[in-house]
């Protein structure tokens, strides 16, 4: 019988404060704090950081936390939903976050946690997002912010923001992918029983739930398209596969994903290329052919346009240099 593995990877601090949003706090705990022996010893080391003295109440539950070590030791700091869009943020917390960020820590907010990052002046010169219901209120309180209301999350490098509650899962999985690779993110997603990457942005949720037309969901079609990236079908074939007219299909597709079929395919090709680059085995010509690019140069151009770096740089950053931990099958 093997002993329990003690993680030695990045240190994660999850902030807690009175009026904490329980769901976002739980998301961060689930992804970063849950024991995951299948990930090996390099997985996250996680602690709850009480950002203020006194009892912490969330969703009718009260808890008393000891003062955690200073944020100066954290590599990643998670700011769950703040207690109110108009609620003040303690100056001491803002100073602590600026110090941590200044020495290299990544700071991420979930949903209304953007208020804390904005008050700490960590979003100046960066794009950010939050729940669509809060966009206007946040813009009024912080008029200089660049807000992207249609995004599920925004990765600005060392500062990251997520939209509504469930988008916090998307951002946490994105962090896992950045740190440990696609296989690790997929493993965590399976445990959560969620997709490792959701299609579209907040636009699909603002006026109505995921659109349906004649009772036909798009998920089977998207899986069908992913399996045909090397030679994607024409628009008329997509519409026929979905059982719709071309016009209805285009409208339904955009309402569901927030993109045209062509835009979605372009993004799907890039994601597939990223996965193959991270695997570290295939050549660029092979990746281009498998992902539907006419040739290697087309892959390079598209990668620079959509990702901002050449494929070779992505491979160096995210493939074997990362040395992802071993992952065993997850059955629960």
Question: Could you give the CA distance from residue 150 to residue 200 in angstroms, rounded to a whole number?
Answer: 9
- Say if residue 159 is in the same domain as residue 103: yes
Residue 175 has pLDDT above 60, yes or no: yes
Residue 105 has pLDDT above 60, yes or no: yes
Global pTM value: 0.65
- Say if residue 218 is in the same domain as residue 186: no
- Say if residue 27 is in the same domain as residue 169: yes
Question: Could you give the CA distance from residue 186 to residue 197 in angstroms, rounded to a whole number?
Answer: 9
CATH classification of the domain holding 188:
3.40.50.880
Q: Which of 63-77, 201-215, 299-313, 314-328 has the largest mean confidence?
A: 299-313
* Residue 57 within a domain: yes
When comparing pLDDT for 126 and 63, which is higher? 126
Is there a catalytic annotation at residue 46?
no
* Residue 331 within a domain: no
* Residue 201 within a domain: no
Average pLDDT over residues 28-51: 89
**pLDDT-based confidence at residue 222 (cuts at 50, 70, 90):** confident
Average pLDDT over residues 164-168: 84
Residue 202 has pLDDT above 70, yes or no: no
Question: Could you give the CA distance from residue 179 to residue 317 in angstroms, rounded to a whole number?
Answer: 10
Residue 49 has pLDDT above 80, yes or no: yes
Please state the domain count of the chain. Answer: 2
Give the other-Cβ count within 10 Å of 208's Cβ.
Answer: 9
- Say if residue 225 is in the same domain as residue 267: yes
Give the other-Cβ count within 10 Å of 25's Cβ.
Answer: 23
* CB-based burial label for 279 (10 Å; 0-12, 13-18, 19+): middle
Average per-residue pLDDT for the chain: 83
Residues above pLDDT 70, as percent of the chain? 85
Give the other-Cβ count within 10 Å of 314's Cβ.
Answer: 18
Average pLDDT over residues 183-193: 85
The CA-atom distances, in angstroms, between 331 and each of 18, 113, 188, 191, 242 are 36, 33, 11, 8, 33
If we measure between CA atoms, which residue out of 245, 163, 242, 262 comes closest to residue 205?
Answer: 163
Q: Which of 21, 111, 172, 291 is catalytic?
A: 111
The predicted structure's pLDDT at residue 184: 87
**pLDDT-based confidence at residue 148 (cuts at 50, 70, 90):** confident
Residue 255 has pLDDT above 90, yes or no: no
Phi, psi of 221 (to 5 degrees): -65, -40
- Say if residue 223 is in the same domain as residue 183: no
Residues above pLDDT 90, as percent of the chain? 39
CATH classification of the domain holding 240:
1.10.10.60
- Say if residue 133 is in the same domain as residue 265: no
Q: Which of 110-119, 251-260, 305-314, 323-332 has the largest mean confidence?
A: 110-119
Give the other-Cβ count within 10 Å of 218's Cβ.
Answer: 24
Residue 86 has pLDDT above 90, yes or no: yes
Average pLDDT over residues 62-79: 78
Domain limits for position 222: 208-321
The predicted structure's pLDDT at residue 3: 54
Question: Could you give the CA distance from residue 88 to residue 19 in angstroms, rounded to a whole number?
Answer: 12
């Amino acid at each position: 019988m093997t002993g329990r593995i003690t993680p030695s990877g990045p240190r994660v601090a999850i902030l807690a404060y009175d009026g904490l949003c329980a769901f976002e706090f739980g998301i961060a705990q689930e992804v970063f704090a849950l024991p995951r022996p299948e990930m090996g010893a390099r997985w996250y080391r996680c602690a709850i950081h009480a950002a203020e003295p006194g009892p912490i109440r969330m969703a009718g539950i009260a808890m008393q936390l000891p003062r955690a070590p200073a944020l100066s030791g954290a590599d990643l700091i998670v700011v769950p939903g703040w207690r109110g869009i108009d609620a003040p943020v303690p100056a001491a917390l803002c100073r602590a976050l600026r110090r941590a960020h200044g020495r290299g820590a990544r700071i991420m907010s979930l949903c209304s946690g953007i208020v804390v990052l904005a008050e700490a002046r960590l979003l100046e010169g960066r794009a950010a997002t939050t729940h669509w219901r809060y966009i206007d209120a946040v813009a009024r309180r912080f008029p200089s912010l660049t807000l992207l209301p249609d995004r599920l999350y925004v990765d600005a490098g060392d500062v990251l923001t997520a939209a509504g509650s469930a988008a916090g899962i998307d951002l946490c999985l994105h962090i896992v992918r950045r740190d440990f690779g696609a296989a690790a993110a997929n493993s965590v997603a399976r445990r959560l029983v969620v997709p490792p990457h959701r299609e579209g942005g907040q636009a699909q949720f603002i006026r109505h739930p995921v659109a349906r037309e004649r009772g036909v969901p798009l998920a089977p079609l998207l899986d069908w398209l992913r399996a045909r990236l090397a030679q994607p079908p024409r628009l008329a074939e997509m519409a026929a596969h979905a059982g719709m007219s071309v016009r209805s299909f285009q409208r339904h597709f955009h309402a569901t994903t927030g993109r045209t079929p062509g835009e979605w395919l372009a993004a799907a090709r890039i994601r597939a290329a990223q996965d193959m680059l991270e695997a570290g085995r295939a050549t660029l010509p092979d990746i281009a052919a498998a992902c539907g690019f006419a040739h290697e140069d087309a892959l390079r151009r598209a990668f620079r346009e959509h990702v901002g770096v050449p494929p070779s740089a992505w491979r160096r950053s995210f493939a074997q240099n990362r040395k992802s931990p071993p992952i065993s099958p997850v059955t629960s």
